[in-house]
Amino acid sequence: MTSSSHETPGTVDDLLIVGFTEGFGPSAEGEDPWSVQLARVWTLGDFTGKEGSSVLLYPPTGPVARVLAIGLGKREELDAERIRHAAGEAVRAAREVGARRILFSPLGAPAPIDWVDAGAWTLEGALMGAYTHDVFRTEDLADRKVLDNVSIAMPDDQVDAAAPRLARARAMADAVAWARTRINEPGNVLTAETFAQAAVEMTLTRPALKAEILNKADLEQVGCGCLLGVNAGSEAPPRLIIVTYEGPGATDAAPVAIVGKGITFDTGGLCLKGRENMGQMKHDMSGGAAALGTIRLAADLNLPVRLVAIVAATDNMPGAAALKPGDVLKAHNGKTVEVIDTDAEGRLVLADALSYAVSRFKPRAVIDLATLTGSVWIALGTEATGLFTNDDTLGEAVRKAGERVGERCWPMPLWPEHEEIVKSDIADLKNAGARGHSDGISAAAMLKAFVHPTPWVHLDIAGTAWADEPKGYLTQGGVGVGIRMLIEALELGLPVSA
């Protein structure tokens, strides 16, 4: 599917989408045939601009075959996130009527949102809402609702000002789509090896990105015993994926490291998960997809920063040589970890990835993303990511960035007392606390030992990485959460405590 930044209604013959807030309806004296129709519908009270409402019109004449009017809700409550979600819902409705080419009038413009903001937010939401992943379907191909083009109709005097923002919106949606596709691929397709191949391929057309892949022998040489331990029950070898980005003017700065959990399928190991929802465990590499999607987008936007993305990739299988409860592993930084629960494998692979990032790249800040614990999902549901940090200034910067792009984070406690939870009687650490302790907190407390004192944020995306059903611009399946938030944070700057 393609998109363009500026078109006139005469170039799109399938569907025009327009938005209205409550109490601000169309004029019966409008120049377009559809506006007369809509004014009649408005007068009858069949469409009032209420959020989530819509009406489909068929103008008798004019350049467009259909017009979809959507409600945006109360004008004083209209903001970027509502516009993005409305655009995503509108695209879904457009696909259902078989529209292949869609033209949006920027939602919420020119009042109360200015043309440029409205156009950018509309395009971003529309393109994310248009995402599909149906490559494995072999039947009913003729019935697929395919979109060929999503466009924004900007006034002529706004085109130049809007162009860079619309380009950014397209790049955002493209990076999120890249991550979603990796997340939605089943475990027999996306292995650690093919995940690494995808990372390499994305660097081939982006000269500012460089990829380095550590195989099993390399991991043995550098001492990533925790990642190797999780991989021990698998027939598919592990990979440590490293991608670096040197932005313009940033070569002398210490990098920001973005570390992702890359468990391509999680059975729980010998501590086997129940059958309910195990099929979704293909998305246990969402943090890794977000880390790679972020550095990919940074290159596409030519951000003046220096980044390194590191993903610890393997599946977690109950093979004959699988990790056992009670085993002790030696991490990259030399710390030993007692394995209490083989289903707490994410913190093990992250321990090696975080330690490797800190020791090799000496970053000024580290941010990790991981579908790590069910306890954070229980605490925050699907509405917010759990945020843990050892640097409140850095954590607040990430939280604010998440608010700006509609990816909420909620600060979680990480106090010195929590570090006692993960102390082992026979090793330096253990990978799970005692019953009664929050697993999300104990996981963060363990990870802190592999990055401190480097300023660090841990994002537990267990509740926000997957959508059971479509909502707004969130399509069913992998969400691609974290990419837009981290890019926003990097663009705003990432301060750390003195």
Secondary structure string (H, E, C) spanning 212-250: EEECHHHHHHHCCHHHHHHHCCCCCCCEEEEEEEECCCC
- The pLDDT, as a whole number, for residue 152 is 96
Structure tokens given for 461: 């995306």
pLDDT at residue 117 greater than cutoff 90? yes
pLDDT confidence bin for 475, thresholds 50/70/90: very high
Structure tokens given for 95: 């696909």
Give the CA distances from residue 444 to residues 245, 272, 329, 413, 458, in Å, rounded to whole numbers and listed in that order. Answer: 27, 23, 18, 10, 7
Q: Which residues pair with 242 in a beta bridge?
A: 212, 310
Q: At which residue do the structure tokens 């994410």 appear?
A: 346
Give the CA distances from residue 179 to residues 84, 173, 381, in Å, rounded to whole numbers and listed in that order. Answer: 19, 10, 22
Give the pLDDT mean for 471-496.
Answer: 95
Closest-CA residue to 263 (of 306, 323, 208, 203): 323
Residue-wise pLDDT for 257-304, tens only, equals: 999 999 999 999 999 998 888 989 999 999 999 999 999 999 999 999
Residue 282 CA, distance from chain mean position: 15
Residue-wise pLDDT for 221-244, tens only, equals: 999 999 999 999 999 999 999 999
Could you say which architecture CATH assigns to the domain 174-492? Answer: 3-Layer(aba) Sandwich (3.40)
pLDDT confidence bin for 98, thresholds 50/70/90: confident
- Within 8 A by CB and 6+ apart from 343, the residues are 266, 268, 269, 271, 272, 273, 316
Average pLDDT, the chain: 93
Do 2-156 and 174-492 agree at the fold level?
A: no
Do 424 and 430 touch, CB atoms closer than 8 A? yes
- The pLDDT, as a whole number, for residue 13 is 57
Residue 77 CA, distance from chain mean position: 25
In whole angstroms, what is the distance from residue 301 CA to residue 128 CA?
A: 18
Residue 151 host element (H or E)? strand 149-152
Residue-wise pLDDT for 174-212, tens only, equals: 999 999 999 999 999 999 999 999 999 999 999 999 999
pLDDT at residue 12 greater than cutoff 60? no
**2-156 adopts what CATH topology?**
Leucine Aminopeptidase, subunit E; domain 1 (3.40.220)
Do 49 and 24 touch, CB atoms closer than 8 A? yes
Amino acid at 106: P
Phi, psi dihedrals of residue 461, rounded to the nearest 5°: -100, 25
Task: Pick the range with the lowest mean pLDDT from 218-227, 276-285, 435-444, 485-494.
Answer: 435-444
- Within 8 A by CB and 6+ apart from 315, the residues are 187, 191, 192, 231, 234, 236, 263, 264, 265, 266, 267
Alpha helical stretches, state H, 242-301 = 286-300
Vertex 206 angle, CA 205 and 207, to 5°: 110
Domain map (residue ranges) of the chain: 2-156, 174-492
Residue-wise pLDDT for 361-397, tens only, equals: 999 999 999 999 999 999 999 999 999 999 999 999 9
Q: What is the pTM of this model?
A: 0.95
Q: Catalytic amino acids?
A: 273, 347
In whole angstroms, what is the distance from residue 14 CA to residue 465 CA?
A: 33
Closest-CA residue to 239 (of 287, 201, 191): 191
Q: Over pLDDT 70: what percentage of the chain?
A: 94
Structure tokens given for 468: 């059971």
In whole angstroms, what is the distance from residue 239 CA to residue 213 CA?
A: 7
In whole angstroms, what is the distance from residue 52 CA to residue 46 CA?
A: 13
3-state secondary structure (DSSP) of residue 414: coil
